[in-house]
Structure 1
């Protein structure tokens, strides 16, 4: 394992700052930027030239480049935090309803869900995340559950300037026919307790969370530090559960592109179709990158390139 677990020296921090700026400058000139997620209308209008990256260290050192303070729709990155919240509330009982294996299929596929009798392969594909939303909802009303999730996100970042973009959430409700099909298939197989419309309302709202790279990187710090926010010294989740979350990010965080991402980058990460990626270097750093153009797997094209360049130059890998 090549990770350095001692605090980064001032020289290394200066080098990291230079590396980030060099990456941002190089990728700004890239002519191949991928395609934005045009099936969600508010995301279709995002400028594909946008690019931001933030690295936050456990001592609260924050290094930024590009559009790192511009908010964007985190989309499926929010699944990491929904899973964290459910694990804290319900523990390992959730694994009776959702698996822990890579799917090998696109994130919105229903093929395996039908073949495997309504048990989603993992909590990061859409079907699995809908089950997690159902567990979060429980006996509560959707508004209460959405409020609890938003409070949790403000807690893990120690930042109240985080919100849910209701315009994006409404657009996802209006156009989310595939998610509705998944929810109804889950319901038909006895793996959805709530009404599909209510569960989807919760799911679409937490996907519509709006954050900047700076905020997103701060939100992932507890995943670098055995479940404790090292800045506020508050326990977010048990250390054993953090290891499991990071393992799932590594194996399932980029859908059917997860193996290639692990091969090229080598650290746990979770992508979203808004173009963001949250990446974790255990013991060292939380990283957020945003570039809205996606590759064929639905992951940020330049975001993946940026993380590959960063990890190569800083010699960061869990392998």
Structure 2
């Protein structure tokens, strides 16, 4: 598909998003996110060696929240390798992202690295042998290298807002600690976790940051091809919490969402797509973002279940 046709598709998807009366509900349990205007939408497609295509508010920065877990997982696997899987599983949870139910049933071993408990363990692994400031610098450096952009930062106000209201995450961390699945004090691990979630990016930056997961020949080489495959598999099965099956059914591509309204989606061997719309659906994933990605894949034929040719 040529760039002009693809740009026209993005413009149509954006127009449809702005015209949609039901934009979902912003994450009102984090004060800084509750203040975000839901009447915003952006989409960006990055491809190695080709122009990045954008539409909507693609230069507006937003808090990537749980999308950051993809980058932290890549770092943790670099630190621990497959030993990480002794501490966290690789199965869908079927529960809300901050649920304690399965964590209690399975004695402190989270189902996967993308629910909150699993991401806290993953962050704890990145902290091994490092101070929180050093671990955060490593995470931020990885994201900047992936995006090939130094102008990516942490919003300290958003992080402070999450620390002040993150009572359930503190409960998860202390439960993990009680089962010996946290190697650092809960406040140190959570401080690092909340700050990584408060990384701010534009849609264009996020799309570029996902290119290393496409496996394209000219994409950044930050992890091995075998890890690319496995991270994508986890994004497909677990990246949208208890809405992961719905996203896979509707979109047919690996993706990772965040309660800031961002979704990073990988088109293996082809492109990285970022979409942002702050209003969330009942799963805690971007409502308009999910609908936009369904429209994009319907119109392009992009899917891991039989991708259309260029």
TM-score under structure 2 normalisation? 0.97
The corresponding residue for 1:177 is: 167
Whether 1:225 and 2:212 are equivalent positions in the alignment is no
The corresponding residue for 1:56 is: 46
The corresponding residue for 1:162 is: 152
Structure 1, unaligned runs of 5 or more: 1-7
Q: Within 5 Å, give how 1:53-132 maps onto structure 2.
A: 53-132=43-122
Cα distance per residue 1:246-267 (max 9 Å; x no partner): 0000000000000011001100
The corresponding residue for 1:250 is: 236
The corresponding residue for 1:304 is: 290
The corresponding residue for 2:268 is: 282
Distance 2:276 2:144 in 1: 20
Structure 2, unaligned runs of 5 or more: 306-310
Whether 1:318 and 2:304 are equivalent positions in the alignment is yes
Distance 1:210 1:198 in 2: 21
Find runs of 4+ consecutive structure 1 residues off by over 6 angstroms.
none
Does the 8 Å contact 2:79/2:125 carry over to 1?
Answer: no
Q: Which of the numbers 236, 239, 259 marks the counterpart of 1:273?
A: 259
The corresponding residue for 1:263 is: 249
Whether 1:146 and 2:136 are equivalent positions in the alignment is yes
Distance 1:67 1:296 in 2: 24
Distance 2:4 2:248 in 1: 27
Residue 58 of structure 1, CA deviation: 1.7
Distance 2:302 2:148 in 1: 27
Query: Aligned residues, how many?
Result: 305
TM-score under structure 1 normalisation? 0.94
Root-mean-square deviation (Å): 1.0
Residue 60 of structure 1, CA deviation: 3.5
Q: Which of the numbers 17, 21, 28 marks the counterpart of 1:38?
A: 28
The corresponding residue for 1:16 is: 6
Q: SS where residue 161 of structure 1 aligns?
A: coil
